[in-house]
A = this chain, B = another copy of it.
Amino acid sequence: MTSISISMYKLTSLFCLLVISLCTHAQPNTTRLNSPEILLDNSVVFRIKAPAASNVQVVGTWASDFKPVPMVKNDSSVYEVKIGPLPSDMYEYRFIVDGVFALDPNNNAVTRDGIYVESRLLLPGALADVIAAQDVPHGRVTAVWYTSPSLGGQRRMHVYTPPGYEQGKEKYPVMYLLHGGGGDEEGWINRGRANYIIDNLIASKQAVPMIVVITNGNPEIVASPLDRPLKTNSKETPGIGGMASMRFEQSLVKEVVPFIEKNYRVIADADHRAVTGFSMGGFQTQNITNNNPGMFSYIGVMSMGLFSSFRAAPNTNYDKDKHVAQLKAVIASKPKFYWIGIGKNDFLFETVTKLRTLYDEVGLKYTYRESEGSHTWKEWRLYLTELAPKFFK
């Protein structure tokens, strides 16, 4: 029952005009192309119209070396290239047009992690089925501001509550999920797809329903670029002062965990707390659990080993005796599950070998996962699909 009846034909015209009008600042690339086109064998054809460009490439996370692939111009000034076949997964990619990055103008699925804003490619199959939104019950993701006296002022985090949380009275376990250097509290949602991964794992009964808390691990930065209180623009990049300061780690233990346990229906004991993170977040995971033995029974260290063994961070000032004493306290606290994962091509691979040697020496038992990839979200999403089912069981 429309109050104003207008035929579909006219609506089409109106919509086109609306779009054209909105596109008045869209002089380039108004031609819609099929890009990325996914072929039946999971090969992908990328296309971009660029009549005035002299060199166009595509670069994506399907190759560990991130080598740009040249594209070939066809008669319609469309640059094209076919990649793959590739395994089912989520990938990020961009074009490089005469030396400058460009999103795929024909793909409105875009993700961001830190300064990396890229087009999203999802290749159907088993892994995509776990990563992508499916027609299963969805938990809620809430952007929550909390007060951190130790870091000063309000900070933003994301809290995932599992399907049914708001209607029920049940108490849930909590996973604290940490991001890497340069990232923020949006990474695990925006690029990591943590909420859909957990939705899917709960729906298939591989994981138990849980709350997931995704913080901003940079002590000097309160929120992602768009969400910071600013007088000017958001060009601030994460300082590294915080990385070894332990200020985030202390804040998580003394402020974030109590906030969550006060404001959400959680089971507030070690056996219902998990902490995991990648890269900087893997370092923080070690710091948090080493300094607070018995607080988290489930621990996952992704893509980060013995930090001080990294070639750029030699052992000066590294206090092995102290580290060993901490690990012994961790052992004494009897964590239920300790996991270490690293990609074969990760530039931090050696640090993990060193960490494992130390753990073996000290007698800290852990599950070790060695994957094929490198230091990218492909690994971290994969790890989450494997880790979450191990937690709270």
Contacts and interface: CB of A to CB of B under 8 A. Distances in A.
A228 interface: yes
A204 interface: no
Interface string A1-26: 11111111011111111110110111
A126 interface: no
Interface residues of A, number: 131
B68 A99 contact: no
Question: Chain A interface secondary structure, helix, strand, loop or mixed?
Answer: loop
Interface string A123-148: 01000000011110110111111000
B99 A102 contact: no
A154 B138 contact: yes
A2 B283 CA distance: 11
Given A4-B318, A108-B114, A110-B226, 17 more contacts: A4-B286, A8-B244, A16-B312, A19-B181, A27-B96, A28-B99, A28-B100, A36-B233, A98-B98, A106-B235, A109-B226, A110-B112, A120-B233, A132-B229, A133-B226, A133-B230, A140-B144
Interface of A: 1-8, 10-19, 21-22, 24-29, 34, 36, 38, 48, 50-55, 59-61, 65-66, 68, 95-103, 105-112, 114-117, 120-122, 124, 132-135, 137-138, 140-145, 153-154, 156, 166, 180-182, 190, 196, 223, 225-235, 237, 240-241, 243-246, 263, 279-280, 286-287, 290-291, 306-308, 310-314, 316-319, 322-323, 326, 347, 375
